Amino acid sequence: MSSSIERSTAGMSSDRRTFLQRMAITGVALGPGAAFLSSCATGGGGDDEEGGGSEPTGDVSEDNPLGMPEDGTVEIYIFDGGFGDAYATDVHQPIFSEKWPDVTIDHNAAVDIAGELQARFVAGDPPDFVNNSGDGQLDGGQLITDGQLHSLEELLDAPSWDDPATPVRDTLIPGTVEMGARDGEMFALNYAFTVFGLWYNKTLLDENGWTVPTTWQQMMDLCAEIKAAGIAPWVYQGVTAPRYMNWPLLTMAAKLAGPEILVPIDNLEEGAWGHEAIRESAAAIRSLKENDYFLKGVEGMEFRDAQGLWARGKAVFCPSGSWLENEEADAIGEDPTFEMAMMPQPLLSEDAVMPIETVRATAGEPYIVPADAKNPRGGMEYMRAMLSVEGARGFTDTVTSLTSVAEANQGVEIQAPGLSSAKDALNAAGDNVINWMYPTWYPTMENPGIDQATGALLRADITVDEWVQQCEKVAADIRKDDSIVKQTREG
């Protein structure tokens, strides 16, 4: 266990420490638009070269540790995507307003965050709090470089909403701080906790007496039975996001050879994509197309269309994160008998280094406070309310997603079957939780870079060797681009 995890669990009860360590993550990853350290320029600038700061504008007290003005306005922007914005209007804002009745919340929801706010950042007139998510998210990495984000270190050191004796940082699942940090300083709060896996139609499996596969050979045998029954075994997110299939590909490779094979990929090392375990996993993924195990026409579909057909019983397996249940709630609701569940990715070999229970999981969905905001301390205080146990559990109930607030995930009866199975899978994984960072560090490396290569692989338009060559070229282009700030991690 890393020293950061040890520090963040020091002084806690043994039960809580064990829970936190089991939930520990290593690295950074994307959820549905969860990238934070991006690579495109936004322009503008703040007071500091890297990260903004501000002095308290209200009286600092035990009740108001961040020194927020107690009669001002907090302007917030929520990404109106897979999670919607009801969790803000119905959960977080009432919690905040109950404590601060004289503070006005100026609520705004937007699908295209950059389209709405980029000009305001450039003009030095951003809102106080931004849910920076979605395909049109602002470039978090460039915002840091330009000094346009307020450091959240004071928030981390402030007393938590529920227990003044416990600082905010000690309420978070280990790894959450590192996800939103640069050079050890946090600039983004990644709030949603995502478990990635292979989602399946449990109703169809139960009705047909099919068993959840634990090895790839079992998966292929089951796919043959499913196809014979007139049902498509798999869907993926089509032309929009073939990268969703990178997730099982890399997870199965890491299970086979160990998580250390992911480190050279993140560090842009030459030859990283050519590791034998990655090749073997890519060949397994390609074999789904070779055997006609994908839903017909899926390669040309939009991601919601493909997922919707899966939710309507047209296929059995779908790769995704634990947001899928909420994202496809309407389609799922059309069939009261439909029940979804999550399974870990199968083992490519029974001699795999990591156990079948291994899953990929990470904190995601970034929230930021602009450095040039009129009321940045109001924005941080709003975050403090979000990080209350009530706020986090309300988020889970509303959008069917776990959060990065550790206590809020304990002892909670989750009614949604998909999220419940994801929570069970995470608990079963214990310390066998993996992740990788390159999609967040270098978004264009994944999309359109690796995305295009994997799309061609899934159509069987290219061989595994050609896929490796294309992935290597994408990594080399990033490696050689001096305009991109490079990051590294240790194994």
201-219 confidence digits (pLDDT tens)? 999 999 999 999 999 999 9
Q: Output the pLDDT for position 32.
A: 41
Q: Minimum mean pLDDT among 82-91, 198-207, 481-490: which range?
A: 481-490
* Residue 133 shares a structural domain with residue 251: no
Confidence class for position 174, pLDDT limits 50, 70, 90: confident
Cα distances (angstroms) measured from residue 219 to each of 61, 196, 232, 306, 415: 59, 18, 13, 20, 28
Asked whether residue 431 carries a pLDDT value surpassing 90, the answer given is no
Query: Is 491 domain-assigned?
Result: no
* Residue 392 shares a structural domain with residue 418: yes
Q: Minimum mean pLDDT among 253-257, 323-327, 389-393: which range?
A: 323-327
| For range 223-228, the mean pLDDT | 98
Asked whether residue 9 carries a pLDDT value surpassing 70, the answer given is no
Residues 6+ apart with CB under 8 A from 191: 363, 365, 366, 367, 386, 387, 395, 403, 404
Asked whether residue 30 carries a pLDDT value surpassing 50, the answer given is no
Asked whether residue 42 carries a pLDDT value surpassing 90, the answer given is no
Q: Minimum mean pLDDT among 2-6, 59-63, 214-218: which range?
A: 2-6
Q: Output the pLDDT for position 184.
A: 86
Confidence class for position 93, pLDDT limits 50, 70, 90: very high
Of 391, 417, 420, nearest in space to 404 by CA: 391
Q: Output the pLDDT for position 15.
A: 37
Q: What is the pLDDT of residues 115-159, one digit of tens each?
A: 999 999 999 999 999 999 987 899 888 899 899 999 999 999 999
Q: Tabulate helix, strand, coil % of the chain (nearest 5).
A: 45, 15, 40
Query: Is 228 domain-assigned?
Result: yes
Of 44, 35, 265, nearest in space to 141 by CA: 35
Name the 3-class secondary structure at 59: coil
Which DSSP symbol is given to 164? T
Asked whether residue 41 carries a pLDDT value surpassing 80, the answer given is no
- For the chain, how many structural domains are there in total? 2
Residue where a domain stops, chosen among 418, 434, 450: 434
Q: Minimum mean pLDDT among 132-146, 243-257, 351-365, 450-464: which range?
A: 132-146
Confidence class for position 349, pLDDT limits 50, 70, 90: very high
Q: For 47, left (φ over 0), alpha (ψ -120 to 50), or beta?
A: alpha
Distance CA 330, CA 149 (A): 36
Asked whether residue 31 carries a pLDDT value surpassing 50, the answer given is no
Provide the domain limits for residue 250: 197-356+442-480
Query: Is 489 domain-assigned?
Result: no
Query: Is 53 domain-assigned?
Result: yes
Q: Output the pLDDT for position 485.
A: 84
CA 415 to chain CA centroid, Å, is: 22
Distance CA 114, CA 455 (A): 27
| For range 64-84, the mean pLDDT | 95
* Residue 290 shares a structural domain with residue 368: no
Asked whether residue 466 carries a pLDDT value surpassing 50, the answer given is yes
Asked whether residue 467 carries a pLDDT value surpassing 50, the answer given is yes
Distance CA 354, CA 362 (A): 18
Q: What is the CATH number of the domain that holds 265?
A: 3.40.190.10
Q: Output the pLDDT for position 6.
A: 29
* Residue 231 shares a structural domain with residue 159: no
Query: Is 294 domain-assigned?
Result: yes
Asked whether residue 24 carries a pLDDT value surpassing 60, the answer given is no
Q: What is the pLDDT of residues 366-408, one digit of tens each?
A: 999 999 999 999 999 999 999 999 999 999 999 888 999 989 9
Q: Minimum mean pLDDT among 273-282, 362-371, 417-426, 482-491: which range?
A: 482-491
Question: How open is the CA angle 197-198-199, to the nearest 5 degrees?
Answer: 110
Of 35, 168, 487, nearest in space to 177 by CA: 168
* Residue 147 shares a structural domain with residue 35: yes
Q: Output the pLDDT for position 167.
A: 98
* Residue 307 shares a structural domain with residue 400: no
Exposed/middle/buried for residue 153 (C-beta within 10 Å: 0-12, 13-18, 19+)? middle
Q: Tell me which amino acid residue 303 is.
A: F
| For range 100-111, the mean pLDDT | 98
**Higher-confidence position of 434 and 38:** 434
The β-bridge relationship of strands 73-79 and 232-234 is: unpaired
Q: Output the pLDDT for position 232.
A: 98
Query: Is 486 domain-assigned?
Result: no
* Residue 371 shares a structural domain with residue 458: no
Q: Output the pLDDT for position 52.
A: 53
Distance CA 468, CA 274 (A): 6
Of 24, 30, 157, 74, nearest in space to 377 by CA: 74
Asked whether residue 94 carries a pLDDT value surpassing 70, the answer given is yes
Query: Is 460 domain-assigned?
Result: yes
Exposed/middle/buried for residue 220 (C-beta within 10 Å: 0-12, 13-18, 19+)? middle
| Percent of the chain clearing pLDDT 70 (strictly above) | 89
Task: Enumerate helices (H) and strands (E) in the chain, giving the number of each.
Answer: 23, 12
Q: Which residue stretches of 312-388 are H helix?
A: 324-327, 329-333, 376-386
| For range 433-447, the mean pLDDT | 89
* Residue 303 shares a structural domain with residue 203: yes
Asked whether residue 21 carries a pLDDT value surpassing 60, the answer given is no
* Residue 461 shares a structural domain with residue 328: yes
Asked whether residue 296 carries a pLDDT value surpassing 50, the answer given is yes
Q: Output the pLDDT for position 435.
A: 92
Residue where a domain stops, chosen among 434, 451, 470: 434
* Residue 298 shares a structural domain with residue 337: yes
Give per-residue burial for 221-247: e unless 16+ CB within 10 Å, then b: ebbeebeeeebbbbbbbbbbbbbbbbb
Distance CA 172, CA 270 (A): 35
Contact between residue 234 and residue 295 where contact means Cβ atoms under 8 Å apart:
yes
Residues 6+ apart with CB under 8 A from 6: none
Q: Minimum mean pLDDT among 36-40, 139-143, 296-300, 482-486: which range?
A: 36-40
Cα distances (angstroms) measured from residue 472 to each of 15, 157, 183, 441, 448: 44, 42, 27, 17, 14
Distance CA 36, CA 442 (A): 10
Query: Is 79 domain-assigned?
Result: yes
Q: Output the pLDDT for position 12.
A: 38
Q: Output the pLDDT for position 53.
A: 64
* Mean pLDDT across the chain: 89
* Residue 300 shares a structural domain with residue 399: no
* Residue 320 shares a structural domain with residue 368: no
Strand partners, 196: 321, 360
The predicted model scores a pTM of 0.80
Q: Minimum mean pLDDT among 86-95, 166-175, 436-445, 477-486: which range?
A: 436-445
